[in-house]
Amino acid sequence: MDPIPAADSPLIRIEGLVKTYSLGEVEVPALRGLSLEVQRGEFVAIMGASGSGKSTFMNLLGCLDVPSRGSYHLEGVDVGRLSRDQLARIRNRRIGFVFQGFNLLSRTSALENVELPLLYDTVSNAERHRRAAAALERVGLGDRMRHYPNQLSGGQQQRVAIARALVNDPSIVLADEPTGNLDSRTSVEILGLFQQLNAQGITVILVTHEPDIAQFAGRHIVFRDGRIRSDRANPSPRRAAEVLADMPESEDEEEAA
């Protein structure tokens, strides 16, 4: 293992990444050899047809799964050589994950949902409350801390999930179709949040089906059949704050819920 996160090494370096699921006798190739690098501070949008391997790729990036072949270096560390517990630690300290389906704990308040990653860290109770509250403030939910997920709109739930993803000051936020269940105005608001995080130096990688959403990212990667079909920079990403100002007020977040 190379524990030195050399400042000049890319945040993510992937070489020949292959993931094959085996369903009994049948082998399902989901990723067929990917290579790419992501630098610190990038905002990447991943697109591609359904079944092209985007979620599989995100799960590997998020250390939730291990590749069948190929290597993945995160901050210079070869993730493939880490133990289950070390992977858990990386998920806890380095990565924030946002899912399409929010994945909040039900019957658990927004604040406690956000505190969850800190429970698995060495943080005092007071510090944990403070940081979780600050993260909720940051996503604009300072007044909803005691609410349960079923008392929140979809957009608010996703913001809780984002607050949970940031509470541990991760170096990357991975979001797999974070706006898939949201209306367009709420989606832009969420993208605005990601842009803010990105402006603060957090690398954001997001999967989306909607080209409109991808427009907010600075780099577009398109998957097809487990390979990268195209990978190009978006020199002029849209600014969510501006888009939001032009949108009609009637499409209010509360109604969308």
Ligand X SMILES: Nc1ncnc2c1ncn2[C@@H]1O[C@H](COP(=O)(O)OP(=O)(O)OP(=O)(O)O)[C@@H](O)[C@H]1O
Residues found near another protein in the complex (CB under 8 A) = 59, 62, 64-65, 84-85, 88-89, 91-93, 97, 99, 103-105, 107, 116-117, 119-121, 125, 164, 168
Task: Name the one range near Mg ion by CB under 5 A: 53-61, 124-132, 141-149, 236-244.
Answer: 53-61
Query: SS3 for 33?
Result: strand
Q: Pick between residue 92 and residue 215 the one whose CB is nearest to another protein.
A: 92
With CB under 5 to 8 Å by kind, the binding choice for 36 among Mg ion, ligand X, another protein, none is: none
Show contacts of 194-197: CB within 8 Å, 24+ apart: 194/43, 194/162, 195/43, 195/239, 195/240, 195/241, 197/166, 197/173
Indicate the length of the chain as a whole number. 257
Report in angstroms how near the CB of residue 154 gets to ligand X at its nearest.
Answer: 18
Interaction of residue 55 with ligand X, rule CB under 6 A: yes
Neighbours of 219 (CB within 10 A): 19
Minimal distance, residue 170 CB to another protein, in Å = 10
State the DSSP H helix or E strand holding residue 131, giving kind and residue range, or none if neither: helix 125-138
Contacting ligand X within 19-48 (CB under 6 A): 21, 23, 28, 30, 48
Taking the alpha carbons at both ends of the chain, their separation in whole angstroms is 47
- 3-class SS at 7? coil
Contact of residue 30 among Mg ion, ligand X, another protein, none (CB under 5-8 Å per partner type): ligand X
| Piece of 50-58, 81-89, 120-128, 237-245 that binds ligand X (CB under 6 A) | 50-58
Structure tokens belonging to residue 127: 């510090």
Binding site for ligand X (CB under 6 A): 21, 23, 28, 30, 48, 50-56
